[in-house]
Amino acid sequence: MASSTLTRPSLPATKAPARSRTSGREGFKINWWLTALMLVASLTVLLPLYFTVAMALKSPDQIGTGTGLAWPTPMNWENFAAAYVATNFPRAFMSTAFVTVFSVLGSLACSSLVAYAIARNWNHRFFRGSFVYLLSAMFIPFPVIILPLIKQTALLGLDNPAGVVFLHVLGGISFNALLYIAFVRSIPVELEESARMDGATTWQVFRKIIFPLLAPMNATVGIFAFLGSWNDFLLPQMMIADPALQTLPVVQMLFQGEFNTNYSLAFASYLMAMAPTLVVYILAQRWVLSGVMRGAVK
């Protein structure tokens, strides 16, 4: 698998996802039956989302013993204010944003540097060995290292969001480097050579020439890192010792207590935690999908 992905010289699907008709059959009429079927099928996604919004806008009385599917009148916008206070939303948001921003930046920087060095020194035993070492780690399931890892990070004082950033960056490096290496190989070495002739150092070549050329792959890696960090539950839950520094997904556990029956508050809080990724996705969906698609072709 590794070798076949690495020898792939170009990325054919790079601009495919947006309105691609390449394998649709030209000249055929629009299939209305299939369109109707797809619309009905998309309700499986839309209904739970509608349900979340409807629940978030209900008062406890309106929830009562009903199905929860009815749209509430009047709508209770104050649920959001209450959830904002109950979960200390700004603090959880800042903590999540901290983890996400630095995980994305760290993943971009570390993975691309490693991939560049490995791809350009493929003939050298040390670099090829590093690659195999990084890849082999993909076979270690996370549950296997988690217990000793938590003890280790706690000893080092990394039982906080900064520690989570470390683990997000290092945990993703195998896969991200794999994506980058295939891409670096498609960049001709000649591009670098002229710069080196003019006296540019390897750092400068990387910063000024290679990194900008990696832009499409940066988008892909960035999107995966963003989604992975923002939505991660396992690592923050297990690593972050101070509850005040917890991230948004973990904070939602607050509503899972046995005696909690305030569902409207819970759903308002869920919605607020889901909103950022949802809004970013809707606004930049074409860009996000083409980025993810590029990762899928690997």
Which residues, 86 to 105, sit near another protein by CB under 8 A?
none
The correct pick among 89, 93, 102, 255 for binding another protein (CB under 8 A) is: 255
145 binds another protein, rule: CB under 8 A: yes
Under 8 Å between Cβ of 161 and 229: no
Gap between the Cα atoms of 52 and 193, Å rounded: 56
Residue of the chain from 105, 121, 216, 262 that contacts another protein (CB under 8 A): 121
| List 85, 144, 191, 215, residue binding another protein (CB under 8 A) | 144
- 10 lies in the binding site for another protein (CB under 8 A): no
Q: Would you give the DSSP letter of residue 253?
A: G
213 binds another protein (CB under 8 A): no
| Residue 13 engages another protein in binding (rule: CB under 8 A) | yes
Instruction: Give the contact letters, 34-63, x = binds to another protein (CB under 8 A), - = no.
Output: xx-xxx-xx-xxx-xx-xx--x--------
Contact 239, 157 (CB under 8 A): no
Q: Which residues touch 121 (CB under 8 Å, ≥6 apart)?
A: 127
Among 114, 178, 184, 265, binds another protein (CB under 8 A): 114
Size of the site for another protein (CB under 8 A): 115
Q: Report in angstroms how near the CB of residue 149 gets to another protein at its nearest.
A: 4
Give min distance, CB of 174 to another protein, in A: 9
Distance of alpha carbon 222 from alpha carbon 103, whole angstroms: 9
Residues 70 and 54: their CA atoms lie apart, in Å, by: 7
As a whole number of angstroms, the distance between CA 59 and CA 77 comes to: 9
Selected from 9, 10, 67, 212, the binder of another protein by CB under 8 A is 67
Q: Report the C-alpha gap between 264 and 15 in whole angstroms.
A: 43
Which residue in 175, 189, 108, 109 sits closest to 138, CA to CA? Answer: 175
Phi-psi region of 167 (alpha: psi -120 to 50; beta: other; left: phi over 0): alpha
CA angle 293, 297, 298 (to 5 degrees): 125
Cα angle for residues 202, 137, 96 (degrees, 5° grid) = 80
Q: Which is nearer to another protein, 4 or 73 (CB)?
A: 4
Identify the residue among 81, 189, 191, 215 touching another protein (CB under 8 A): 189
Residue 249 near residue 232 (C-beta atoms within 8 A): yes
Select from 3-11, 80-88, 97-105, 211-219 the region that touches another protein (CB under 8 A): 3-11
Q: Which stretch binds another protein (CB under 8 A): 72-80, 81-89, 211-219, 271-279?
A: 271-279
**Looking only at residues 276 through 295 of this chain, which bind another protein when binding is defined by CB under 8 A?**
277-278, 280-282, 285-286, 288-289, 292-293
Q: Which residues in 146-175 contact another protein (CB under 8 A)?
A: 146-153, 166-167, 170-171, 173
Q: Which residue, chain included where needed, has tokens 């990696």? A: 214
Of 158 and 245, which has the nearer Cβ to another protein?
A: 158
Residue 68 as a binder of another protein (CB under 8 A): the answer is yes
